[in-house]
Amino acid sequence: MKKVTLVFSLFAISAFGASWEGVISDAKCAEKHGGEKLNAGCVKTCIKGGQAAVFVTKDGKVLKIHNPDGLGGEENLGVRVKVDGKLDGDSLHVDSVTKL
């Protein structure tokens, strides 16, 4: 019974929205552009060149972005942002992005 409750609890947590702070980067250089090493120009160039957009959390975890059209434009790439959305495993569905 405890396992069933735990599974439902974890599902409920991921089904509801949450917020994270971090950086929208590209899949190729994700960890290079986190922390204090922001490089918006590189991120924009890589994403325009076909790299997938990813979200790097403040603690360095890299999350795939389920809906890149929800990022709100180039002004949010490679800079510190707050993302509201829903997490499903290692994939993030973005509801909104706010530049910090």
Q: How many CB atoms lie within 10 A of CB 29?
A: 18
> CB under 8 Å to 12, separation ≥6 — which residues?
none
Q: What span, in angstroms and rounded, lies between the C-alpha atoms of 22 and 36?
A: 11
Q: Does 2 score more than 70 pLDDT?
A: no
Q: Which residue segments constitute the domains of the chain, with CATH numbers given? A: 17-99 (2.40.50.500)
Cα-flanking dihedrals φ and ψ of residue 19, to 5°? -125, 145
Q: What is the pLDDT of residues 40-99, one digit of tens each?
A: 999 999 999 999 999 999 988 999 999 999 999 999 999 999 999 999 999 999 999 999
- The Cα diameter of the chain in Å comes to 51
Question: Which of the pair, 38 or 77, is modelled with greater confidence?
Answer: 77
Question: Which of the pair, 30 or 24, is modelled with greater confidence?
Answer: 24
pTM of the predicted structure, to 2 decimals: 0.80
Asked if 100 and 81 count as a contact pair (C-beta separation under 8 A), the reply is yes
